[in-house]
Structure 1
Amino acid sequence: MMEAVLIDMFSIEFNAHFRHINQFLAKAMKLIAEKTVVSSDPAVYIMYCQTFGCDSNDAREMFLRAIRSFQALKKRIELVSGASVAATLYNVKQKLDERNVRRVNVILPFERSCLMKAFIDRLFTQVYYFEYDSLDLSYGDDQTEKPANTHSGVLNLTEKQLELVESDIQIYLQSIPAKGELTILKSSLIPESVFLHGFTTRYGGISYIPLLSSLNLYSSDKRHDSRAVVAENLRRLARAVGFNPKNFHLVKAAHANDVWIMGKKEPDSYDGIVTNQKGVTIAAPGADCIPLLFSDPVKKVFGAAHSGWRGTLMGVAMATVNAMVSEYGCSMKDIQVVLGPSVGPCCFTLPQQDAKAFHDIHPQCVRQIDSPSPHVDIRRATKILLEQGGILPSNIQDDLMLCTCCNPDLFFSHTRDGDTFGNQIGFISTRN
């Protein structure tokens, strides 16, 4: 069942073809009526260009008059306009999200089908479901009357057209004001003269869904932020901090202990990265799991790892350290490890069977071990495992003790927010 209808009239010229616009709207409304079941009343959004494709005030008024006549037939019609396709469609997306709408029927001129699909694929994720209905937009028997900006019969976009789609989206997203001031937490252990690093908070991005607002730095098909939005958040972070977002690598978190040695073949999934490459920034996500940063200022080798409770038990922290030692000749005494913000034992619980594994690391890693759901301290367990592996206690920093779950104004949290959650990151690179 469709929950909303989007009528794409963005590219239609309104000067000389008013009669055909009426015909197009009539066909669209008839199609909506045929698809609408008695119990549903989908909202209808009509997207059009702010300039109306014309310079005539009379044409503008005629267009609005036509829309009003259809609004009289169906009250839930809303006009959505913008200076570009990206701006208008993103405006539609916000309206859909406000109403928690996921299923949309798109009605559009045939020649716009591929173009609109390209925009939707880049601005939406698989959380949303779109169906497309193409209508012929007749301009009469004389084909010379057809406006120059139509592309009847085009079934596939050219590479140049796809580049224009990407550019339209990027230009618009870059124009959106940031929500809050970008705030980076830094370690006093990692030497600033050698490494560029930090841990992000949720401030300073453009994500508008409440649970993702505003500097969400992870996109997936199960979340509302598209890759384009996350890429813009990353661009703003990179510009503020001073790294190249085109040479940025985020671990492919699998809650395990695989480590990618950059320069070797990239695994399908890994929770750690180590490298000595200049100009490269690596990062680990966190939304309760610990983003770990590793640095060796002597060898100028650095690493990042994602350590959830499973990864902690599987030893991802020491797996990253061991990769630095075996691949780059780092000395244990020179390796520094910083634990980024994560969930604390105040908020994180596990079933007793899983909690016992942490109790085996050290009894202080678990509170109330006899309860069905003991509280677990993954940070303490990580530090203990690092020290047992040979990292000097003075080279382990854990003073970013803010619990992600307890601080909703600062951090994203899976424990607190459920499956629709955002991600902060810990990032590191060498200074050139």
Structure 2
Amino acid sequence: MVEAVLIDLFSLPANLQNNIPGLLLNTLETIEKCSSIPAPFVYVMCCQRQENGEQESLLPALRNLQSLKKRLQVVHALTTAAALYTIKQRLDEKDLSIIKVILPTLRKDLVKVYIDHLFTAVYQFEFEDLQVASDCKNLQIAEPRSEEQMVPTQDVAVILSEIQMYLESLPSLNGELTILRSSLIPDDIFLHGFTTRTGGISYIPTLSSCNLFSSSKRRDPQVVVKENLRRIAKAAGFNPETFHRVKTDHANAVCITGKTEPDSYDGIVTNQKGVTIAAPGADCIPVLFADPVRKACGAAHSGWKGTLLGVSMATVNAMVSEYGCNVKDILVVLGPSVGPCCYKLPHESAKEFHQIDPKCVRLFDSACPYIDIRRATRILLENGGILPENIRDDSVTDQNQNVTFCTACHPDKFYSHFRDGNNFGTQIGFISIRD
């Protein structure tokens, strides 16, 4: 069932531009008569150039549509990207996902390109054609034409550039962009950091504001994540075009940059200068590895499954085998993750952590004991030959500044799947070798 209607009046023929209030009234009356639900939310997008005095002239006409009066919003913007993104925000405020788009036939293929990039698979769109009547004084809603035209590559490039420019112009939300760093990793050789949730443009509460992951199940599109990453890259000093993030599978496969990339992997290593590698975390641990002797580095995503499967030592072993690193030279920093104060697992899973070390489990006899995945990771690294003093986590302070916070305990600083549910945001740990 349609939850909202979007009417695109952004690019009407010149002879109709002076009669938008009348045209809109006619269109809205048609929606009232034909809609499968009474008075859906209606959003009308118009070009900013039409704004002078026009919004006021619409109001008297709309008074005849009492049921729609409080459900209609007219959005004026300089570009289609700005108008659609503004409407997306208003749809998200109301948690609306099923949208009927009524637009001129010639605009449909172009607008679909905008929608493909500004929305995700969470949203469902259906289209109807908005046609100029034979008297050239009216608009009519018609069944959409079935044939679709491919939008020329150069037009797609222009649309993507328009979207990017608009997103770059948006202000940062919920505080300044903040990157946490550890003094264990030598700053003259490596560039590294752990992101927090502030300083991006994501506006949905559980994703606000520097979310760095997009999926078909979430409302943040890839273009927003890309803009958040661009801001991080600018602040940190790395090139977002040579950025590689693990393709998580909650296992222990490791990707070697420059070699064939696996379909999924939770560890990644490189010895290439200027290539930034990263691992996500939203309760799972983003773990960074640095060897200042052989000038190689790594990143791993270690959740409870990856911890038990030994993803951190798998990453270490890849650095040793690929780049000739000595285990005793490798430095390891554990980033923000869910702590033993908050994280629980079913008793069966807790048994495996208890076998690593009983101190990794609290209230072991309960149905869902508390688990310390960070302690388990440290123990497994030490067992693998990493020197205790070369590991930084919340058991070792870093110049009185701990970078291994509990994500669930700090909603102002970090995302947390455990705390926020399925529509959660993601932060990352990243590292690269300086040129």
Scaled by the length of structure 2, what TM-score is found?
0.91
Distance in 1, Cα, partners of 2:238 & 2:8: 39
Q: Does 1:311 align with 2:309?
A: no
* Residue identity matched to 2:416: S
Q: Does 1:213 align with 2:208?
A: yes
- The aligned counterpart of 2:420 is 417
**Kindly, what percent of the aligned residue pairs are identical?**
58
Shift of 1:394: 1.0
Of the candidates 167, 172, 184, which is equivalent to residue 173 of structure 1? Answer: 167
1:14/1:22 Cα in 2 relative to 1: closer, same or farther (>3 Å)? Answer: farther
Q: Which runs of 5+ in 1 are unaligned?
A: 142-152
Distance in 2, Cα, partners of 1:419 & 1:124: 18
- The aligned counterpart of 1:51 is 49
- The aligned counterpart of 1:9 is 9
Q: Does 1:374 align with 2:369?
A: yes
Distance in 1, Cα, partners of 2:19 & 2:231: 46
1:340-379 C-alpha deviation (Å, 9 max, x unpaired): 0100011000000000000000000000110000000000
- The aligned counterpart of 2:379 is 384
The 5-angstrom pairing of residues 19-418 of structure 1 reads 22-23=22-23, 26-27=26-27, 29-31=29-31, 33-37=33-37, 40-52=38-50, 60=54, 64=58, 68=62, 71-72=65-66, 74-75=68-69, 76-138=71-133, 155-179=149-173, 180-399=175-394, 400-418=403-421
Contact kept in structure 2, 1:18 and 1:63, CA below 8 Å: no
Shift of 1:139: 6.9
Contact kept in structure 1, 2:25 and 2:62, CA below 8 Å: no
Larger mean Cα displacement after TM superposition, 211-220 or 20-29: 20-29
Contact kept in structure 2, 1:28 and 1:107, CA below 8 Å: no
Secondary structure of 2:248's counterpart equals coil
1:122/1:16 Cα in 2 relative to 1: closer, same or farther (>3 Å)? Answer: closer
Secondary structure of 1:267's counterpart equals coil
Distance in 2, Cα, partners of 1:385 & 1:333: 14
Shift of 1:26: 2.4
* Number of aligned residue pairs: 416
Distance in 2, Cα, partners of 1:161 & 1:28: 31
Shift of 1:133: 1.0
Distance in 1, Cα, partners of 2:261 & 2:185: 27
Q: Which runs of 5+ in 2 are unaligned?
A: 137-146, 395-402
Shift of 1:36: 2.0
1:250/1:62 Cα in 2 relative to 1: closer, same or farther (>3 Å)? Answer: same
* Residue identity matched to 1:46: V
Contact kept in structure 2, 1:176 and 1:206, CA below 8 Å: yes
Contact kept in structure 2, 1:186 and 1:197, CA below 8 Å: yes
Scaled by the length of structure 1, what TM-score is found?
0.91
1:19/1:203 Cα in 2 relative to 1: closer, same or farther (>3 Å)? Answer: closer
Contact kept in structure 2, 1:337 and 1:397, CA below 8 Å: yes
Secondary structure of 1:285's counterpart equals strand
Shift of 1:41: 3.1
Question: Over aligned residue pairs, what C-alpha RMSD do you find?
Answer: 2.1
